[in-house]
Amino acid sequence: MSPLLLILALAPPLAMVWFFQSFKPAPPEKPGLLAILFISGLLSGLPALFLNHMVEKYTALWAGAPEIQHRLLFWMLGIGWNEELAKLLPLLALLYFRKDFTTPYQGLLGGITVALGFSAVENIFYLDRFGTVTLLVRSILTVPAHAFFTAPLGLCLAYSKNAAGAGAKYGWLLGGLLVSMVFHGTYDIWLSFEYGWINRLAYLQVLLMGLFTLLLMRIARQAPIDRQTGAGIAP
Amino acid sequence: MHNDHTPLEDKSPEEGDSSSEAPSSGPREAARKVSQESSPEGSQEGILRASRHYRRGNRFFASGMGDKALHEWKHAASIWRSAEAAKHPLRKGMGNLMAVLGLLITVVVFYNLLFTMFPRQDDDQMLLMGGESRSWWERFLDTGRDQQENWQRLGIREWWDQLRRSWKEDSSHHAGRREMGLPTVEKRWEDLLRRYGNWGPQFNYSMDYNLVSGYGLSRMGEYQRSVAIFEKGLLSTDKPEKRADLFQGLANTHYYFGYNLQEDGLAKYDLEMVRKASQAYEESIKIRPVPLSFGNLGWMHYLLGNYEQAIDYSLKALRMNDRLDYVRLNIGLVHLVQNNITESFRYYSAVISRNPPQEVYLGGITDLRELIRDNPGRHPFSYLMLGLLAAKDGQYDLAEDSLTRFVTSPNIGQRWRVMAMRILDQMTTTELER
């Protein structure tokens, strides 16, 4: 792959990281941390690929399954769960235990950055396979979609960090993962239909998820910050 | 109870105004305060601050400023929770760790459930078997599923029909034909589609119901109806891929129509049906030349006595796929019948040296036994080949019997006789060691 194509594949996700970073309340996130999260998002494509492969190979769930319920479950519990879990793993490893990870917007930004890294590796893969035309569609639809799938997960990660008690922390983590899984699975289900107008529901969903993410950004920006400690506070 | 307080209650100079608590002066300061808050002393301070916010909320409430009161109470509750957690800093860190461990356990349980509740069906699983000559990585990557490009994405109507059928079947689970052990027509179609729709090398989701039902009827032994369905399908489509599938199905049906399995495990063939099968296969390879079809054509021409064509087609199959050991056995058999013993032996030896799966030996043994049955005493070398295959397969009694018959046959040449006797000796030694 030529360097120009690589830049084309990476540019939309990186632009979106810059967009979400620019809305972060001061202080700005450390560029090094963002870079590490983005790269870990790129690498999280590997576990996702492995998990998807295992599910397709060793269960009755796959995209071409004759039974409708198996197809639906594949998109939801297979692709949706696997890919969001793959994004969560670097967040847990690199962000969750950091002492300076305190505010909800940090979680939101972290989640989105990893997701955009993930979508970047998909971009590279699809660009190599289907050419530059797909990049346009993916930049409009899939790259933002990945960011929006994982935004709730990132926010929940922050709330989990600030929650009191292991049970509440666990609840936030699992809840965030489930919400992201449902977003991702539903999106894939729309795209699995044959008819164009059903496919268009995926566009609608991305639009709605975009609005929802704006709402989450607003919540994260306005979330109560403990002025004594500078830490974010769980709702 | 909040009305018990007045705005002036507990008022002190430093808490008279909410702005008296200076905002954090920067990230370093914030970090320092986080660290301070994390200490037990800091937690005590946090609890004091929480109580101050709580009382301030009470005063706002008493003054009729409900919104501000609510904000202060929420803030107080939040600070109190943080301060409580900070009382035990080790436990706070442990809480994060426990939450993550809990999540990982949930993930493991999730996959356990997923893989046990939706296992791949046994017949489907068989698509993963074989191909031992491929590398580990190639076998790992092979899901046994169709390529993504060939998936037939279901239309909304099919989705709806399937959903409705699924609901209907659930609601009448113990009623009607199912209770009598008779599948509904829809269920039968579904079963046929499941069984044949994703099976075999011609795996293709764009196949039509003619093909599915043709295979289904053939499998049920209703060959004439199956042939009629395949022929109807051929009349109804011009698509080359579908026609290739239908011709192949027609060929298989003709072949099995003419295939009569006897009590001794050997088959007798209706050659007219074999001829029709070969004609259908020839039509199929015009559209889609696949090695399997060439291999089958080679076998059919052997049955029909067209030995030159049998070898031509078999060699084509081998050129396309070098791993088809049953085709090598067929070529060996044809040479044997034509009395080209050296060539025949070369092909049989090649198969043995490749160490194929047991079913390949069994197929070769059956073919040779059929040849001996149909031509008693005419092809003495068939005993040699039979002995070789049986010995390799571990059927020592059969091997010994065949080789003994061979060495006692007249006009076989000293070289072959010596070789057979040597094999017999080796086999006896092996048997004794065993």
Domains, chain B, in order of start with CATH, read 2-87 (no CATH), 186-288 (1.25.40), 323-434 (1.25.40)
Q: How far is A8 from chain B (nearest CA, A)?
A: 25
**β-strand partners of B269:** B259
Residue B5 CB coordination number (10 Å): 17
Cβ contact (<8 Å) for B143 and A56? yes
Of residues B33, B114, B197, nearest to A229 (C-beta): B33
Of residues B81, B114, B151, nearest to A55 (C-beta): B114
Q: What's B248-293 look like in SS3?
A: HHHHHHHHHHCEEECCCCCEEECHHHHHHHHHHHHHHHHHCCCHHH
Determine the Cα–Cα distance for residues B29 and A27; give it in Å rounded to an integer: 12
Check whether A48 has a pLDDT greater than 60.
yes
Identify the closest residue of chain A to B81 by CA–CA distance: A164
Write out chain A residues lying below 8 Å of B103, CB-based: 92, 170, 173-174, 177
Confidence class of residue B24 from pLDDT cuts 50, 70 and 90? very low
Q: How far is B237 from chain A (nearest CA, A)?
A: 22
From A16-25, B208-217, B238-247, B288-297, the region with the lowest mean pLDDT: B208-217
Max Cα separation, chain B?
Answer: 127
Cβ contact (<8 Å) for A233 and B82? yes
Residue A95 and residue A158 in contact, taking contact as beta carbons nearer than 8 Å: no
Token pair of B343 as six digits: 């060539």
Q: How far is A208 from chain B (nearest CA, A)?
A: 23
Write out chain B residues lying below 8 Å of A87, CB-based: none
> What percentage of chain A exceeds 90 in pLDDT?
56
The predicted pLDDT at position B288 comes to 87
At a CB cut-off of 8 Å and minimum separation 6, what does B228 contact?
none
Whole-prediction pTM: 0.51
Token pair of B146 as six digits: 């169709």
Write out chain B residues lying below 8 Å of A69, CB-based: 166
Q: How far is A77 from chain B (nearest CA, A)?
A: 8
Identify the closest residue of chain A to B95 by CA–CA distance: A166
- What is the average pLDDT value for chain A, to the nearest integer? 87
Confidence class of residue B117 from pLDDT cuts 50, 70 and 90? very high
Domain residues for A64? 3-23+42-222
Residue B225 CB coordination number (10 Å): 16
The predicted pLDDT at position A170 comes to 95
Check whether A97 has a pLDDT greater than 90.
yes
Identify the closest residue of chain B to A61 by CA–CA distance: B118
Confidence class of residue A152 from pLDDT cuts 50, 70 and 90? very high
pLDDT per position as a tens digit, A19-32: 999 988 878 888 99
Q: Is residue A53 part of a domain?
A: yes
The predicted pLDDT at position A109 comes to 95
CB pairs under 8 A between A and B: 157
Write out chain B residues lying below 8 Å of A85, CB-based: 107
The whole-number average pLDDT for the span A91-102 is 92
The predicted pLDDT at position A226 comes to 52
Of residues B21, B148, B194, nearest to A228 (C-beta): B21
Q: Is residue A37 part of a domain?
A: no
Of residues B78, B99, B159, nearest to A160 (C-beta): B99
Q: B289: cis peptide before it, omega within 30°?
A: no
Write out chain A residues lying below 8 Å of B49, CB-based: 228
Q: How far is A184 from chain B (nearest CA, A)?
A: 17
Cβ contact (<8 Å) for B95 and A165? yes
DSSP of B88-114: SHHHHHHHHHHHHHHHHHHHHHHHHHH
Check whether B184 has a pLDDT greater than 60.
no
Residue B339 and residue B373 in contact, taking contact as beta carbons nearer than 8 Å: no
Using CA atoms of B167, B168, B173, B175 in order, give the dihedral in degrees to the nearest 10. Answer: 160
The predicted pLDDT at position B146 comes to 57
User: Count of domains in chain A?
Assistant: 1
In a 10 Å sphere around its CB, with 0-12 CB exposed, 13-18 middle and 19+ buried, how is residue B304 labelled? middle
The predicted pLDDT at position B279 comes to 92
Write out chain A residues lying below 8 Å of B191, CB-based: none
Which H helix or E strand runs over B144? none
Confidence class of residue A123 from pLDDT cuts 50, 70 and 90? confident
Q: How far is B402 from chain A (nearest CA, A)?
A: 45
Length of chain A: 235
Determine the Cα–Cα distance for residues B168 and B178; give it in Å rounded to an integer: 12
Residue B339 CB coordination number (10 Å): 11
Cβ contact (<8 Å) for B120 and A97? no
Q: How far is B12 from chain A (nearest CA, A)?
A: 19
Phi and psi angles of residue B260, each rounded to the nearest 5 degrees, phi first: -120, 110
Residue A199 and residue A191 in contact, taking contact as beta carbons nearer than 8 Å: yes
The whole-number average pLDDT for the span B290-298 is 90
The predicted pLDDT at position A198 comes to 80
> Which CB contacts under 8 angstroms, 24+ apart, belong to B181-190?
B188/B216, B189/B213, B190/A66, B190/B165
Of residues A60, A69, A97, nearest to B96 (C-beta): A97
Check whether B114 has a pLDDT greater than 90.
yes
Cβ contact (<8 Å) for B154 and A96? no
Residue A230 CB coordination number (10 Å): 24
Write out chain A residues lying below 8 Å of B151, CB-based: 63-64
Q: Is residue A48 part of a domain?
A: yes
Cβ contact (<8 Å) for A64 and B152? yes
Q: Is residue A52 part of a domain?
A: yes
Write out chain B residues lying below 8 Å of A192, CB-based: 153-154
Describe the crossing of helices B89-117 and A166-192 by its angle, rounded to 10 degrees.
40
Q: Is residue A215 part of a domain?
A: yes
The whole-number average pLDDT for the span B321-340 is 91
The predicted pLDDT at position B179 comes to 36
Write out chain A residues lying below 8 Å of B152, CB-based: 64
Cβ contact (<8 Å) for B118 and A70? yes
Q: How far is A53 from chain B (nearest CA, A)?
A: 7
Question: For B227, how many CA atoms within 13 A lie in the half-sphere containing its CB?
Answer: 14
Most confident of B106-110, B191-195, B401-405: B106-110
Cβ contact (<8 Å) for A230 and B24? yes
